[in-house]
């Protein structure tokens, strides 16, 4: 009897081991989402505005303060640039007054270039491009 029992037990054991991976595979398949299931389950909220997306009063105030500070800094820079522009124009006028019809110094040409560059910069800042 033991001669028949040992092979029978071994056969049952091999069958159980062979069937176990198939059962685990079926269990994994049942856990996988099917064709109509949303994955991840919270993806239905995509595209909806969350409360964090809607600016609250504090966010609006912070944005307003930031814009105000930026405009104040821009205005201060414009004032400095126009003061410098006025100074360069005065220096250019003095240099031109010193020259005569036959002489035009390199300094005058250089000052005119600086004035042109600074004037363009001021114009761009006034338009809000910088």
Q: Are 115 and 89 in contact (CB under 8 A)?
A: yes
- Taking alpha carbons only, the member of 72, 94, 74, 86 closest to residue 119 is 86
Q: What is the pLDDT of residues 19-52, one digit of tens each?
A: 555 555 555 555 555 665 555 555 555 656 556 6
Q: What is the pLDDT of residues 89-129, one digit of tens each?
A: 999 888 888 887 777 778 888 889 999 999 999 998 888 75
Q: What is the pLDDT of residues 46-85, one digit of tens each?
A: 656 556 666 788 989 999 999 999 999 999 999 999 999 9
pLDDT of residue 41: 56
- Enter the tokens of residue 11: 């056969």
- Enter the tokens of residue 85: 């522009």
pLDDT of residue 14: 55
pLDDT of residue 42: 55
- Enter the tokens of residue 4: 């028949």
Q: Are 74 and 125 in contact (CB under 8 A)?
A: yes
């Amino acid at each position: 009897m033991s001669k028949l029992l040992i092979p029978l037990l071994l056969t049952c054991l091999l069958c159980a081991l062979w069937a176990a991976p198939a059962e685990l595979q079926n269990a994994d398949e049942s856990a996988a989402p099917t064709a109509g299931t949303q994955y991840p389950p919270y993806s239905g909220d995509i595209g909806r505005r969350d409360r964090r997306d809607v600016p609250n009063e504090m966010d609006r105030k912070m944005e307003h303060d930031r814009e105000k500070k930026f405009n104040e800094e821009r205005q201060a820079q414009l004032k400095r640039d126009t003061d410098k522009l006025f100074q360069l124009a005065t220096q250019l006028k003095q240099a031109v007054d010193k020259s005569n019809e036959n002489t035009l110094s390199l300094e005058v040409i250089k000052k005119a270039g600086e004035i042109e560059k600074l004037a363009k910069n001021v114009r761009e800042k006034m338009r809000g491009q910088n």
